[in-house]
Amino acid sequence: MLEVLEALEASEALEFWRMLPIGMVIASIAMFFGLGGGVLWMPVLLMSTELDPKDAVICTIVIQFFGQLSATYSNHQAGLIDWRLVRLLMTFGIPAVIFGVLFSFRLHPVWIELVLGLTIFFIAYVFLRGDDFFVTGSDQADLEAARRGRSITMFGSVLTGFLGVGVGDWLVPFFNMQCKLAMVRSVATSIALMMILSSTALGVHILFRQTIEWRVVIPGVLGVLLGAQAGSRLLRRVPETHFKEFFVLMLVFIATHVTFNAL
């Protein structure tokens, strides 16, 4: 009996030290490209742990929430968040993210993996098209143009509840190009909105008494918090074009693995 307990403790310790550096790497990549992080957390959890897809969604949302909360606090202190934009779009995002969570409860886990793989393929395609289309922007968003982002917000929010994929993957370019908001403010505003949506999704999961695997979440959260601090310094030394090519190849590999694993 004692040997079994020691083996379990050793396994949990290995899980901790494995998820910690993974969290740092994912946070670094998310900062580099302005991604929500969920597009990487979901497949990594599916490939590196024995979690069911539905449990992986919950862990992804919890890990992202703490990272987004930390980033939102820092960005608010720096005055980078356009809260008018957040208030406008959260009224459409919150009902959509609730629908996404409830929808995930009714689907077979295989469908979650399949949709995740196809979503990652699409994001890889967007990166392949190039991202050299950003505009300079200003400190204040064009709210009239922002109202056209309701459908994007609702679509991304459903994916947040359904897959744990951040709405920022879709909103950052919209904020910058259509709302004419400066890129740094677009990212900060998107993170604040994602934090609210993640907390809503987490609240629904808790309300329905869904299990949270803290042995995975805690080291993931610590890794995200550390990676958010160290990531920007490390990635300044990496040429953006080379890193982008590697990242696209990695996304294609992950998407292929997740998709074929679901079939």
Domain-embedded: residue 2: no
Residue 3 CB partners (closer than 8 Å, separation 6+): none
Rounded CA-CA distance 182/137 in Å is: 4
- Is the per-residue pLDDT at 81 higher than 50? yes
Which residue has 């922007």 as its token pair? 137
Reading the block at residue 38, the tokens are 């969920």
Q: What confidence category does residue 241 fall into, taking pLDDT thresholds of 50, 70 and 90?
A: low
- Is the per-residue pLDDT at 193 higher than 80? yes
Task: Please give the pLDDT value at position 53.
Answer: 84
Which residue has 């009239």 as its token pair? 144
Rounded CA-CA distance 83/206 in Å is: 27
Task: Please give the pLDDT value at position 10.
Answer: 46
The range of the structural domain enclosing residue 116 comes to: 19-262
Q: Choose from 56-60, 114-118, 132-136, 259-263 the range with maximum mean pLDDT.
A: 56-60
pLDDT (average), residues 88-98 = 93
Check if the beta carbon of residue 165 is closer than 8 Å to that of residue 112: no
Instruction: Look at 260 and 161; give whichever has higher pLDDT.
Output: 161
Domain-embedded: residue 10: no
Instruction: Look at 75 and 197; give whichever has higher pLDDT.
Output: 197
Q: Choose from 93-97, 153-157, 168-172, 208-212 the range with maximum mean pLDDT.
A: 93-97
Q: What confidence category does residue 167 fall into, taking pLDDT thresholds of 50, 70 and 90?
A: confident
Domain-embedded: residue 6: no
Task: Please give the pLDDT value at position 262.
Answer: 62
210-216: which pairs have CB atoms within 8 A and are 24 or more residues apart?
A: 210/54, 210/58, 211/55, 211/58, 212/58, 212/59, 212/62, 213/49, 213/51, 213/55, 213/58, 213/59, 215/12, 215/15, 215/16, 216/15, 216/19, 216/45, 216/49, 216/51, 216/59
Task: Please give the pLDDT value at position 38.
Answer: 74
- Is the per-residue pLDDT at 135 higher than 60? no
Rounded percentage of the chain residues whose pLDDT exceeds 90: 12
Domain count, the chain: 1
Domain-embedded: residue 9: no
- Is the per-residue pLDDT at 200 higher than 90? yes
Rounded CA-CA distance 254/217 in Å is: 21
pLDDT (average), residues 44-67 = 85
Rounded CA-CA distance 29/21 in Å is: 12
Domain-embedded: residue 12: no
Domain-embedded: residue 191: yes
pTM over 0.85: no
Which of 131, 163, 169 has the alpha carbon at shortest distance from 36?
A: 169
Instruction: Look at 158 and 123; give whichever has higher pLDDT.
Output: 158
Instruction: Look at 34 and 52; give whichever has higher pLDDT.
Output: 52
Reading the block at residue 36, the tokens are 């929500």
Task: Please give the pLDDT value at position 15.
Answer: 60
Round the average pLDDT of the chain to a whole number and report it.
77
Domain-embedded: residue 8: no
- Is the per-residue pLDDT at 138 higher than 80? no
Residue 83 CB partners (closer than 8 Å, separation 6+): 192
Rounded CA-CA distance 141/155 in Å is: 21
Domain-embedded: residue 141: yes
